[in-house]
Amino acid sequence: MTTNAVLARGARWLTAGALLLSAAVPAHAKIDKFDARHKSGACSDAQFNTGFFLWDGRPRINIATGERISVRLYGDMAEKAEDASGADIFEWIETSGYGWVDIHIRAAAEHGTGNRTVTVKWPGWMGGGTETIPLKIVASCDSVFGSALRVSSPDSPNAGAGRIGMLRPPPMSVQPQSANLLPAVQTPYVLARPLGALIPTPAGGMAPVDGAFCAGLPPNVVRQVPVPVLKWGVSGVNITQAAAGFSAQLFNETDPDNPVQIGNLPLPNGFPANTPVVQTNNYNGRPTAIRVIANPQFVTPHQSKTGQDLSTTQTFPGCFTAPGVAQPLDPARFRVVVDPQDTVNEGGFENDNELMF
């Protein structure tokens, strides 16, 4: 009997786990406040004002070329965020905890200047949903002042409401900046990873996956779809000072106590000329296609004592791996590490060489 036939005919009953999952799912996180922090790179003396800011009506955040910042979002189920994406700027989910998630953002020279938007996504099994972080890349640290979150002096019109304005001290001397190596994962990306526990069904277990895999598919039909390329590697700031002979490595961090290296990108001669970002595709053994099903249905047969058909049909909204099909998937968690042997002297920038996603 084919998989589709099993799906259509169903079985006598579904397990409690499947019944619970079919119940109403909560809406995506409701963000109500945020704060921001300078993390590394340029503008170390341009710290953000302390305290919380209301999420509704949030202003555009200024970020300077060469600077890395962190925006912490607070709200119910914020920690369930699964992805952050944006064009012409680096962004990633760094850490999370109960009721909050940290979105790290970095602007590099190749990104240019101007308005940008980072979109934070919550998974489909929660009801889906996104929130956006408005940003503006500016060319220099002097230009970050005057925004609603980073003001140039206590007399600034934006320095009221209990927020502390800052005076930027003049530089004592001009010092050459150290090289800074950073993990680089090209976004947006779609990972073939399970987004929840395996769900038992009459046709076998199935796992929720990114809804992009089921885009345009008819419901309740198993189809094989391609897996988009994953690009990962390393980017550099002030890389003319970077020594040769370092590498970037990709790890499977599904078990944090037993990470497994699955990819290696050696740079024996450092960065090529005029190439501040070097990336590679996928990793050995990564699936190029997976079998999925959209909105699967299962029939529970039942007859009354008089022979009346009282069968019921249950639909699981969303995108899932094909029930009962064993197939390789992406790890639940990746980690990119650049320069793991500390070959390159990065001065004070050694603490930003890892990225979890």
Q: What is the dihedral of CA 175, 179, 183, 187, to 10 degrees?
A: 70
Q: Give whole-number Cα distances, 164 to 21, 63, 79, 169, in Å.
A: 48, 19, 29, 16
Mean pLDDT of 65-86: 90
pLDDT in tens, 238-273: 777 667 789 999 999 998 889 999 999 999 999 988
Strands (E), 18-155: 30-41, 53-54, 61-64, 67-76, 83-85, 90-97, 100-106, 114-121, 130-138
Give the rounded percent of residues in the chain with a pLDDT score beyond 70. Answer: 81
Residue 36 structure tokens: 């921001």
Q: Indicate the DSSP class of residue 8.
A: H
Region of residue 7 (phi > 0: left; psi between -120 and 50: alpha; otherwise: beta):
alpha
**Better pLDDT: 288 or 41:** 288
Q: Which secondary structure element, helix H or strand E, spans residue 5, and what is its range? A: helix 3-9
| Omega before 188 within 30 of 0, i.e. cis | yes
**307: Cβ contacts below 8 Å, ≥ 6 apart:** none
Q: How far apart are CA 204 and CA 214, in angstroms?
A: 19
Mean pLDDT across the chain, nearest whole number?
81
Write the single-letter amino acid at 113. Answer: T
Whether 54 shows a pLDDT value over 90: the answer reads: no
Q: Are 357 and 92 in contact (CB under 8 A)?
A: yes
Mean pLDDT of 140-157: 62
Model confidence band, residue 6 (pLDDT cutoffs 50, 70, 90): very low
Distance of CA 284 to the CA centre of its chain: 22
Q: How far apart are CA 35 and CA 31, in angstroms?
A: 12
Look at residue 73 in the predicted model and tell me its pLDDT: 92
Look at residue 146 in the predicted model and tell me its pLDDT: 62
Structural domains present in the chain: 25-168 (2.60.40.10)
**Better pLDDT: 76 or 147:** 76
Q: Are 143 and 67 in contact (CB under 8 A)?
A: no
pLDDT in tens, 105-146: 999 988 999 999 999 998 876 667 899 999 999 988 888 876
Residue 289, strand partner residues:
226
